[in-house]
Structure 1
Amino acid sequence: MAKQSLRILQVLRAPVGGLFRHVADLTRALSAKGHSVGIVVDSLANDAQTEGLLLGLEAYAALGIHRFPMPRLFGRSDLSTPFAVSALARRLDVDIMHGHGAKGGFYARLAAYGRNRAEVYYTPHGGVLHFPADKASGKLFHRIERTLMAKTSAIIFESHFAEKTYSALIGAPTCPGKVIHNGLRPDEFMPVEHRSDAADFVFVGELRALKGIFQLVEALADTRHPDGRPPNLVMAGDGPDRAELEARIAELGLGARVNLVGSKPAREVFALGRYAVVPSLAESLPYVVLEAAAAQLPLISTRVGGIPEIFGPTSDSLIPPGDAGALAATMNRMLADPDSAETEMRQRLAHIEAQFSLARMADAIEQLYRGAQ
């Protein structure tokens, strides 16, 4: 097997969220292995953290960070950006193009129709899997996926759930496919130190209905400590449903019990709460679940997407999505029996330490890349 360094171009749309975190971690790990990496991101979308995050990657992106317009759904740039990415790949003489998410995968594989020699890999990261097959948008995206499979060297699924969902919606891949779980850095397995005034529960995620935020505050209204005290909640993040969430919090009379702290790094927020809650209605393989478990917080989550793969031997504790009553009952049990919550957390920690390390993830992806050489 060839051992020479590779020239790799990572292609994604928005440089935010878990998908970007995955690309950033992979870029650093591949750079440390001696490979030259470049990044292509959207020039249209960013948030308050975007510039700092990209700046922090410059030292690891030997092939540069390049921006092209990438509309979230469809737009005029979809006719020009694939040609620009293809030209960039030729100019950089890359061995590998790796598209992440629906739009990153779209551009990377369309670029493969150009005159360049790169092998093309694709990781859905949820993306196209969130479009239902009975909707016009889903039918269109799924048809595009089936067409672009001919230009795909391999599909990397971040969970067995994603692999099964892809096959159910789009069809079994005609190219090689492999499940490679997301991984965490060694420092992320250090226990978080809670502040003395930490809340009982903490939520980290986008403030939109899909994340189960309304069921969470409704459950909080029905949650009590064994001595009758009402517990409190810190919610970190921002999103399109923030105003509606604030209205619902006021309607439930929870204004003094819910603290919305805005968008902050996950570990910083974990110090603000003793028990993490991830009540999502749909997910792929969310980093926040891995991060909370690695930070050694007892954790409540829903049985969606690849979360059972993260929970491993503790997956029986997962609850149905969208069920505020079940969520409240689990929150009450955790408050009433913290020792059991601690024991379960230790079991889960051992599982993710063994299965979800960054070194394991990067080694597996590098090996897959080299298989094309």
Structure 2
Amino acid sequence: MAGKLRIVHCFRSPVGGIFRHVRDLTDAQVAAGHSVGIVCDSTTGGEYEERLFDQMQGKLALGVQRTPMQRHIGPGDLASAWRSYRIIKELQPDVIHGHGAKGGAYARLFGSLLRVSRSRVARLYSPHGGSLHYDENTLTGKLFFALERNMARFTDCLLFVSDYERRTYRRKVGEPPIPNVLVYNGLRAAEFEPVPEAADAADLLYIGMMRDLKGPDLFIDAFARAETALGQRLSAVMVGAGEDLPRYEAEVERLGLADRIRFLPPMPARAAFALARLVVVPSRAEAMPYIVLETLAAGKPMIATAVGGIPEIFGSGSPALVNADADAIAGKMREALSDLAAYKNLMPDMTTLKARFGADVMAAEIEQAYFAACRK
């Protein structure tokens, strides 16, 4: 296989890092002359995501196809899978690239079914954390990792976004019996421009999905403890949406912080960066989070938990990294806010970031993996 490809990206949830990753890839692939399409869930996302889809629709030769997809395995999966398969079959892809647990399962299953009908489809899978976040000692974890081991035979290439993710796969699933490539997430050149803070900027910013895995509850708890440690009132903005948002709003009310912690709906990351002086990423688990790369590229000081691939961005010994614990995060908030100029000097070197985490590098390496898989 040579020349231009028909590429379909399949994933469930059009929010957060996976959606960002797919948008960057489709932009680069369209620019390279490939025909690209998206198949994803129609029940997830809000106004912000709808605007992003509107911007993409005219660029993608294979279009944006949305259909209901369940988050968890259940009886509704059969109907959802059949609808998705019919959509993908009509698109006649050369490459199906699945992202996340559900997208990865669909891409490999449907690609294999198409192969039965003599269609040579390359099946690639990017976990993006996905099922790898499960504990291998639980029944759920054992089930998912057994499924992953079995799905490897229907996969032409695994694409990992961090060395942490690849090591986790090896530990929980096993050594991949197929080609696997490490390709870091990348940012566009324009994102390596500083974002000045607004005149009324808050002290702290959380931006991300509103679910416990990403740590909004740790952010709120740490905020309260940092106020006590500093002996002064602080201010914060929390940007994002998700099923657990009402619980976090209630917790802020319960702690008497409603006048100091403001909730805002999803918005472009660079718009959010102007709203505060210090960004906090309190995640309990990650693969290779875009928000960390975006924050550093924008020249913002930040605190991040030492989980997943985050230490690969900062360096494992970085003083900006903390445990995913409210006390540890609060202590780092106090330290950083006490002398923010000095704290900012602890951030990684911008030249090194550009060389390792550029979107052009990411897209070129993934395209190379596509062509190698098509030749199998």
TM-score per shorter chain, which class?
over 0.9
Find the residue that maps to 1:222 and give its secondary structure.
helix
Does the CA contact (< 8 Å) of 2:318 and 2:346 recur in 1?
A: no
Whether 1:261 aligns to 2:261 is no
- Structure 1: distance between partners of 2:210 and 2:161: 24
Does the CA contact (< 8 Å) of 1:183 and 1:356 recur in 2?
A: yes
Equivalent residue for 1:164, pick from 163, 167, 171: 167
Match of 2:11 in 1: 12
Match of 2:35 in 1: 36
Query: How does 1:1-373 map onto structure 2 within 5 Å?
Result: 3-114=2-113, 115=117, 116-223=119-226, 229-312=232-315, 315-322=318-325, 324-345=326-347, 347-372=348-373, 373=375
Provide structure 1 residue ranges, at least 5 long, that are not aligned to the other structure.
Answer: none
- Structure 1: distance between partners of 2:161 and 2:128: 7
Amino acid at match of 2:209: E
Indicate the larger mover: 9-18 or 216-225: 216-225
Cα distance, 1:330 vs structure 2: 1.1
Number of aligned residue pairs: give it.
370
- Structure 2: distance between partners of 1:371 and 1:288: 30
Find the residue that maps to 1:164 and give its secondary structure.
helix
**Deviation by residue 1:114-172 (Cα, 9 ceiling, x = unmatched):** 22210100000111112222333322222221111111010001111111111111111
- TM-score normalised by L of structure 1: 0.92
Cα distance, 1:55 vs structure 2: 1.7
Structure 1 residues 149 and 258: CA distance shift in structure 2, 3 A: same
Provide structure 2 residue ranges, at least 5 long, that are not aligned to the other structure.
Answer: none
Find the residue that maps to 1:193 and give its secondary structure.
coil
Find the residue that maps to 2:322 and give its secondary structure.
coil
Cα distance, 1:113 vs structure 2: 2.5
Cα distance, 1:200 vs structure 2: 1.1
Cα distance, 1:370 vs structure 2: 1.3
> Which structure 1 residue ranges, 4+ long, deviate > 4 Å from structure 2?
80-90, 224-228
Amino acid at match of 2:272: V
- Structure 1: distance between partners of 2:137 and 2:103: 23
Does the CA contact (< 8 Å) of 2:320 and 2:346 recur in 1?
A: no
Structure 1 residues 112 and 242: CA distance shift in structure 2, 3 A: closer
Structure 1 residues 325 and 92: CA distance shift in structure 2, 3 A: closer
- Structure 2: distance between partners of 1:81 and 1:245: 31
Structure 1 residues 289 and 222: CA distance shift in structure 2, 3 A: same
Cα distance, 1:16 vs structure 2: 1.6
- Structure 1: distance between partners of 2:244 and 2:76: 28
Structure 1 residues 258 and 68: CA distance shift in structure 2, 3 A: closer
Amino acid at match of 1:251: R
- TM-score normalised by L of structure 2: 0.92
- Structure 2: distance between partners of 1:335 and 1:43: 41
**Deviation by residue 1:49-68 (Cα, 9 ceiling, x = unmatched):** 23222221122211122223
- Structure 1: distance between partners of 2:252 and 2:5: 51
- Structure 2: distance between partners of 1:131 and 1:245: 23
- Please provide the CA RMSD for this pair: 2.1
